[in-house]
Structure 1
Amino acid sequence: MPRHLLDLDRGWRHTAPASPGDEAADLDDSGWERVTLPHSTTTLPWHGFDRAAYQFVSVYRRTVEVPEGFTGRVFLDVDGAMTASTVWCNGVLVGEHLGGYTPFSMELTAQVARDRPNVIAIRVDATERPDIPPFGGRMDYLTFGGIYRDVTLRLVPQVFVADVFAKPVRVLEAERAIEVSCELDADGAVPGPLSIEAELRDGARILARSQREVRVSDRGTATVDLLLENLGDIELWDIDRPRLYDVVVRLHGPSDDEHTRRIGLREARFTPAGFFLNGRRLKLRGLNRHQTFPFVGGAMPRRVQRRDAEILRHELKCNVVRTSHYPQSPHFLDRCDEIGLLVVEEIPGWSHVGDAAWQALACRDVEAMVRRDRNRPSVILWGVRINESRDHHDFYTRTNQLARTLDDSRQTGGIRNFFDSELLEDVYTVNDFDIGELRRPNHQLYLVTEFGGHTFPTKQTDHLDRVQEHVLRHARVLDQIYGDDRHAGGIGWCAFDYNTRGDAGSGDHVCYHGVSDIFRIPKPAAALYRSQCDPAEAIVLEPAFHWSRGEFHPHAVETHNTMYDDRAGHRSSGLAVICSNCDELRLYVGDRMVSRLEPAREAFGHLPHPPFITDALSAKWGPDWHDLCIEGYLEGRLVTTRRLSGRGVDALFQVEPDDTTLVADGSDATRVVLRVTDEFGNRRPYATGAVSLRVEGPARIIGDNPFALVGGGGAVWLRTTETPGPVRLHAEHTALGAATAEIQVLPAGTPSAPSAPQLAPR
């Protein structure tokens, strides 16, 4: 029987806290909670909770049946469980895995019964154990608990293809090829030769093939190398055209096996002159991402993980993301491959390095990360140093050597936050929070991996001067990075606000470091990143303020006096900041034009599209207050218009789902944004109010209900059950009335429809 993968995300039972004997095969678990993966052991408020609330031990149980007639080997594959997992099959201990961010597999062949259902039990310890990375010191993020990624039962022959590394070589030459390294796993000798072949496919079309014979004379693993060449005029993977192909490896013998890896051909190199993709210099511009969400931590399904990649690439217009500070969901990385979002990926940790056993687990994490993701064209750099840790020569010599041995096609980096550091990696990756002048060791390949963040946390509800300064701080650093070709690029801290310890962040278990809030709703600083894209891709016009007479009162302008330095040493006051990739803006108050603006090139001359900055709005105090109209022009042609209401009224209540079609697998989910706006659709940042939610149809709410708006907005997620049908989310605001979101849930196994069209961030 050939390889077969059984999705085990449905049909689990869960209990907490764990009790002795929960793993017994004959235990009656019918009274336990029925859950679907990914699963969080507890649901929390989005802020202000006690992190002890998720630190306990729980147990998951499920029955599985091996298909009739199958005589091969059985593996349990777990993509991620937080933080220590112990596995039993039919009451027999199989093994333990320490760590929550890398996948693990356990062979169940000796324990499974072939003629009756089998009971799998997984005990999950979510406590912060100092013997497991990233724990042991103080951390600036939370880990939550549960089996929060997918689980699969893998059925394979006695000899099977355990791993494939398809490495493109000589990519920029006419003789480009793919070196295919195949790892075979056998439970014993096989009489006679086996045949192994590799194919490069574009859909059903075979572009290249290689084949050879191999003999398996003993139990264990063996590596077989194949070469795919004569590829012809194959298309390279690039950020603007992320072309993907499949490498299919087949093993022919007593039982056949097949293993497929998706790849892209590209050359990515950091050099003293910057970063080059396929021989072209590319300035890296991106943001860090924590894989955590409100209410459930990391336990969001495929669609929601992929959505974060889309936000970063399509809405924020980033070309790179750093997976701070651990390997992240394979679904997120799948989408990065598909849409051309480059990835700097790193091992779990935050400043602390533990003892020898701890370091051995970190090295195991390096191996698991590289093996899992080395076929991905989006991954351009391995982070093999614990984030912001001090130098550890022997430890980091080992992590670098391990990454280079497993994958010599990518460079290594090691994120530090100080400059007097031993360089063992290929690229000097550093968190630099000095916004005055970025420093650079002259002899190093250099990438800034954090800036901003904790030096200027900003909330949706903060005053105008802080919100606009937040924009300009990101602009100053990016301008410096763009102004020096030796800088490979900059990755700001960070994309989204995230949960943290109670003694970090703002005291409510949230770090407000993001350019978007924890619900993925953009703050004005997000528009600075968005506006750096080419106007041919999207025309951006985003004011970094809301239109209010009190905010622009002429006697209040001194509150802005530290916001902007025009680089001639002059300070300006009473400023309005607008992020746009237009080349001219015209501002109207009522019917009267008050200003024609050009980008602030004198201050931000290296940015592709500097922000527009003006004091023309600060003195518009008078008997009447009017709407503000901003017109955007390119080469003298009007291309976009933005209107902001002068009424000061919370006018509209909007309910907007990211997707209008889901599938009934018990796991699929989509975000639903709740927003109060003016009559032109601009978010009202000081709007509040409780929103009562009611679901009609086969779905449930992930989030607070009632939901208290903050910063004029917020979000919940809708998660499907295993029943198809229409779903309506009815939302009623205390003052603005009701609105409804409608979603169609299709039967499980049905390909879902594309996401709903996305509105411009407001």
Structure 2
Amino acid sequence: MTIKSDVYTTGSSRRRFIQNCTIGVVALSSGSLLGCLAKHKATGQRGAASLTFSLDQNWLFGGKFTDAAFSPGFNDSAFKQVTLPHVVSDLSWQDWDEKKWQDVWIYRRHFTVPENLQGMRIFIKFDGVMVTASPSINGYALPVHLGGYLPFHYDITDHIKQGENVLAVKVDARWSSVPPEGSKNGKRAVVDYMEVGGMHRSVSLYAVPKLYVSDVFAKPADVLTANRRIVVNCTVDTAILPGKSVKLRVEMRDGNNVISQAERELYIAKTGQTELSLSLSGLQNITLWDIDNPKLYDIITTMLVEGQPLHNHKTRIGVRDASFKLDGFYLNGKRLQLFGLNRHEVYPYVGFAMPERVMRKDAEILKYDFNCNVVRCSHYPQNDAFLDACDELGLMVWEEVPGWQYIGDDAWKEILLQNTRDMVIRDRNRPSIIIWGTRVNESASVEELYSKTRAIAKLLDGSRPTSGSLTPDTRKDWQQNWHEDVFAYDDYHAEPDGGGGVGILPAIEGYPYFLAEAVGQYNYPTGKGFNSYYRRSGEAKIQQNQAIAHAQAHNKSAADPRNGGVTAWCAFEYSSLLNQYRAVKYPGVADVFRIPKLGASFYMSQGDSKKGAVIHPNFYWDFSQRSPTGPGKGAAIFSNCDELKLTIDGKEYTTVKPDTKNYAHLKHAPFFVDLEFTDQKPGELKIDGYIGGLKVCSRSFSPDHKQNQFSLVVDDKEILGDGSDATRVVFRITDKFGAPRPFTDGKVDFVVTGPGIIVGDNPFNLKESGGAAAIWIKAQPKTSGRITLQATHEVLGSKTITIDVNPTTPTTSI
């Protein structure tokens, strides 16, 4: 076990829950409340210490489950030592076979509880296990938990012993009647994304006094008025009656600076949970959370017994007003067009089992590379680390319950109701979340069920609207069956003129309106090639269509002032058994490795030119057999400049302006230019970007494959040596200027030295991935030093990168 002391770190989901249940140092050595206070006075301690007990390291994975392995005395010396997050089966990036994980598995963890926790209440918390978890502690079976996307915890105080304890977890990864999965009339319901089994999120152990603050919801109220305040609803959990004066003190802090404070007596008449509400005022001068300035504050709730602090609870908030109105979405009183993408959390090689750093990277890509201001978490609550990053970066979030079209029986519905509760309670303090998806994605309008999910969200939060995406079938009778706050629609239709353009329907009258999905697959062909649409290694002309479709969807939705915006389908490719090619579905504007495709060129151009002028052609300057005549007529170039000058072979070719006539509602309209060459293959292309007559950026492209280069780039130069942390390494073939060269192949071999391992295919053939791919480098547990990775392309030679592995501090291993 690793104990981490006083380590509140912005963005660390693994520690977040423990920070929210911190314990006073006075309580560590005494089982009684009076003993805690006496020791507190003797030591002169002020305030509460923060302790984290991470159980992510030193797990033993035994493969397929046997009854004997559940026994605490079982000899598990032959089990494989693993670190969480973990997936039960080896995977590549494509060709996933669900039979590999559709089984029952066993994990075990040995640990010793420190003696100074005697008399405390001890809990174990799982952040997520896919799909069904049956834990036991020292042979005592804990209740089974169903569902893989939300946390669950157990009070194990009465089952802990001195010396070694054994935690065993039976993981059932088989298809079952748990959202989103299920079966109807003896047949499995189709789900568009694969759920790979394993303990794919963190596990923690925490200890608290017998009287402690178990939950705090800090809800901003009247944000845009002079009466701005935070209503703090506190839940206190007690196993004993204190018999002493108990108070709760709530502080809003900016770092060490106390912005506002409130205090109130707490009367405890019974064991169990007691709720109390306080209000923080005097907030006229605070900074509101915004997409460009995502200011965060800490809410510290301290329990005082006879004036002495016993326990505190720490959570993080942002103060903002987010509302959907009939004329669009408003953030802090200003209309803001929502501009975003849907995100699946599935990764190559490991499914959902990526560490925090990698999860956070997705938020950074969406915010900084793709210029999104919102993301839809499709179609389940996603990892704490990703949501932490959204809070910190100013990336707004649609979060929704697990599900995909299917609705099961009464037992299934009860699980969905619990999912709704757990989702709202876990994430209601997050400023990034602007809406709750309380309907199963694209499902039938079952009002009896959704009236309950909606009521749960309103009861537990009440500050955010509810919604859920509709399809054309469910939209037909929306007048009778729509009872949510925001009308959300998946608009995939094409224009009726047969020209292939994206169609966007007018907003529904009388409701705030938003497009939960658009573009994606509306134009998938029905014949040959259907399952490989938008692949980087596929037809260039089809790849070019993707960015244009996304630009059309956002432009047309913004043209309707009643349309609040779009989260288009989708950010990243993902594993699927539906409309897929080799178990990968390809509607992402980036591939499974999170490498942008041509489809991302539109998004990458929509940033503020003052923060950086960019040029992103929606084509490859490649005159191979795959595209012998070049980009073609009317080729698009996406840029945030106001003029582009093209030269070919050093000679002026053309000057173009953005097409603001047909794309008047985009921040930056695309440029179109004829680049079809039937007689003679041209040489190098140079594109210069101008703003106000001044040259601000330039890019060059070469058609000469003989000068191709092998590129190797790592996301992070440093990672932690905790056995979980990892960073992405992107490798690809480029032209001599670094531009993508998609229709290339070749085997790449990797050699790693130092305290790290490769997560990915070794060797890797670039043919199927279109000349670009990635692996991840993961640090070994309890290590430090330097990792060196050498990648060798069979034709273009070798490149080397280094990654420093830093020791985790402060730590104490037990």
TM-score by length of 2: 0.88
- Of 312, 315, 338, which residue of structure 1 is paired with 2:392? 338
State the 1:532 CA deviation.
1.4
- Of 216, 219, 230, which residue of structure 1 is paired with 2:282? 230
Aligned residue for 1:662? 719
Aligned residue for 1:621? 679
Q: Does 1:112 align with 2:160?
A: yes
Aligned residue for 2:374? 320
Query: Could you say if the C-alpha distance between residues 464 and 69 of structure 1 is closer, same or farther in structure 2, counting changes exceeding 3 Å?
Result: closer
The CA deviation string for residues 565-601 of structure 1, in whole angstroms up to 9 with x for no partner, is: xxxxxxxx72211111111011111121111101112
Aligned residue for 1:172? 224
State the 1:438 CA deviation.
1.7
Aligned residue for 1:454? 521
Give the Cα separation in 1 of the matches to 2:125 and 2:245: 29
State the 1:620 CA deviation.
6.9
Check conservation: 1:5, 1:155, Cα contact below 8 A. Answer: no
SS in 2 for 1:313: helix
- Of 791, 794, 805, which residue of structure 2 is paired with 1:734? 794
SS in 2 for 1:16: strand
Give the Cα separation in 2 of the matches to 1:159 and 1:229: 27
Aligned residue for 2:44? none
SS in 2 for 1:189: coil
Q: Does 1:521 align with 2:595?
A: yes
Check conservation: 2:179, 2:402, Cα contact below 8 A. Answer: no
The CA deviation string for residues 221-253 of structure 1, in whole angstroms up to 9 with x for no partner, is: 111111111124000000000000000011123
User: What one-letter code is carried by the residue in structure 2 that aligns with 1:302?
Assistant: E
State the 1:175 CA deviation.
2.2
Query: Could you say if the C-alpha distance between residues 282 and 293 of structure 1 is closer, same or farther in structure 2, counting changes exceeding 3 Å?
Result: same
SS in 1 for 2:367: helix
Give the percent of matched residue pairs that are identical in Structure 1 and Structure 2. Answer: 39
SS in 2 for 1:21: helix
Aligned residue for 1:438? 504
Give the Cα separation in 2 of the matches to 1:654 and 1:412: 45
Aligned residue for 1:675? 732
SS in 2 for 1:649: helix
Q: Does 1:536 align with 2:610?
A: yes
Give the Cα separation in 2 of the matches to 1:294 and 1:619: 38
State the 1:552 CA deviation.
11
Give the Cα separation in 1 of the matches to 2:622 and 2:758: 35
Give the Cα separation in 2 of the matches to 1:435 and 1:168: 42
State the 1:454 CA deviation.
2.3
Q: Does 1:10 align with 2:57?
A: yes
SS in 2 for 1:227: strand
Aligned residue for 2:97? 50
Check conservation: 1:553, 1:618, Cα contact below 8 A. Answer: no
The CA deviation string for residues 347-406 of structure 1, in whole angstroms up to 9 with x for no partner, is: 000000001111110010001000000000000000000001011010001110110111
User: What one-letter code is carried by the residue in structure 1 that aligns with 2:606?
Assistant: Q
Give the Cα separation in 1 of the matches to 2:777 and 2:318: 34
Matches within 5 A, 1:13-32: 13-32=60-79
User: What one-letter code is carried by the residue in structure 1 that aligns with 2:228?
Assistant: R
Aligned residue for 1:505? 579
Check conservation: 1:650, 1:684, Cα contact below 8 A. Answer: no
Give the Cα separation in 2 of the matches to 1:321 and 1:447: 13
The CA deviation string for residues 688-712 of structure 1, in whole angstroms up to 9 with x for no partner, is: 1110001100000000000111211
The CA deviation string for residues 95-116 of structure 1, in whole angstroms up to 9 with x for no partner, is: 1100001110111011111x21
Check conservation: 1:192, 1:215, Cα contact below 8 A. Answer: no
State the 1:183 CA deviation.
0.7
State the 1:94 CA deviation.
1.7
Aligned residue for 1:85? 133
Give the Cα separation in 2 of the matches to 1:49 and 1:365: 27
Matches within 5 A, 1:217-256: 217-253=269-305, 256=310
Check conservation: 1:313, 1:339, Cα contact below 8 A. Answer: yes
The CA deviation string for residues 65-119 of structure 1, in whole angstroms up to 9 with x for no partner, is: 2221321111111100000001111011121100001110111011111x21211
Deviates more, 1:593-602 or 1:437-446: 437-446
SS in 2 for 1:110: helix
Query: Could you say if the C-alpha distance between residues 550 and 742 of structure 1 is closer, same or farther in structure 2, counting changes exceeding 3 Å?
Result: closer
State the 1:43 CA deviation.
1.9
Give the Cα separation in 1 of the matches to 2:774 and 2:728: 7
- Of 674, 699, 704, which residue of structure 2 is paired with 1:647? 704
Deviates more, 1:130-139 or 1:293-302: 130-139
- Of 654, 670, 684, which residue of structure 2 is paired with 1:611? 670
State the 1:45 CA deviation.
1.3
Query: Could you say if the C-alpha distance between residues 490 and 74 of structure 1 is closer, same or farther in structure 2, counting changes exceeding 3 Å?
Result: same
Give the Cα separation in 1 of the matches to 2:689 and 2:178: 56
Unmatched 5+ stretches in structure 2: 1-26, 29-49, 184-188, 496-502, 525-532
Check conservation: 2:540, 2:627, Cα contact below 8 A. Answer: no
User: What one-letter code is carried by the residue in structure 2 that aligns with 1:632?
Assistant: G
SS in 2 for 1:262: strand
Give the Cα separation in 1 of the matches to 2:209 and 2:707: 64
Aligned residue for 1:263? 317
Give the Cα separation in 2 of the matches to 1:132 and 1:466: 35
Query: Could you say if the C-alpha distance between residues 591 and 620 of structure 1 is closer, same or farther in structure 2, counting changes exceeding 3 Å?
Result: farther
Give the Cα separation in 1 of the matches to 2:788 and 2:212: 47
- Of 453, 459, 462, which residue of structure 2 is paired with 1:408? 462
SS in 2 for 1:453: coil
Aligned residue for 1:373? 427
Give the Cα separation in 2 of the matches to 1:22 and 1:215: 47
Aligned pair count? 731
Unmatched 5+ stretches in structure 1: 561-572, 752-762
User: What one-letter code is carried by the residue in structure 1 that aligns with 2:368?
Assistant: H
SS in 1 for 2:290: coil
Aligned residue for 1:724? 784
User: What one-letter code is carried by the residue in structure 1 that aligns with 2:754?
Assistant: G
Check conservation: 2:236, 2:274, Cα contact below 8 A. Answer: yes
Aligned residue for 2:201? 149
Check conservation: 1:190, 1:215, Cα contact below 8 A. Answer: no
TM-score by length of 1: 0.94
Aligned residue for 2:418? 364
Q: Does 1:696 align with 2:749?
A: no
Q: Does 1:100 align with 2:148?
A: yes
Check conservation: 1:505, 1:512, Cα contact below 8 A. Answer: no
SS in 2 for 1:128: coil
Give the Cα separation in 1 of the matches to 2:626 and 2:696: 27
Query: Could you say if the C-alpha distance between residues 118 and 553 of structure 1 is closer, same or farther in structure 2, counting changes exceeding 3 Å?
Result: closer
The CA deviation string for residues 154-179 of structure 1, in whole angstroms up to 9 with x for no partner, is: 10111111111000111112221100
Give the Cα separation in 1 of the matches to 2:633 and 2:611: 32
Check conservation: 2:756, 2:777, Cα contact below 8 A. Answer: yes
Give the Cα separation in 2 of the matches to 1:46 and 1:668: 20
Give the Cα separation in 1 of the matches to 2:633 and 2:562: 36
Deviates more, 1:654-663 or 1:598-607: 598-607
Aligned residue for 1:743? 803
Q: Does 1:713 align with 2:772?
A: yes
Query: Could you say if the C-alpha distance between residues 158 and 111 of structure 1 is closer, same or farther in structure 2, counting changes exceeding 3 Å?
Result: same
SS in 2 for 1:574: strand
Q: Does 1:466 align with 2:532?
A: no
SS in 2 for 1:74: strand
- Of 261, 276, 280, which residue of structure 1 is paired with 2:334? 280
Check conservation: 2:147, 2:178, Cα contact below 8 A. Answer: no
Give the Cα separation in 2 of the matches to 1:240 and 1:604: 25
SS in 2 for 1:496: coil
Q: Does 1:599 align with 2:675?
A: no
Aligned residue for 2:439? 385
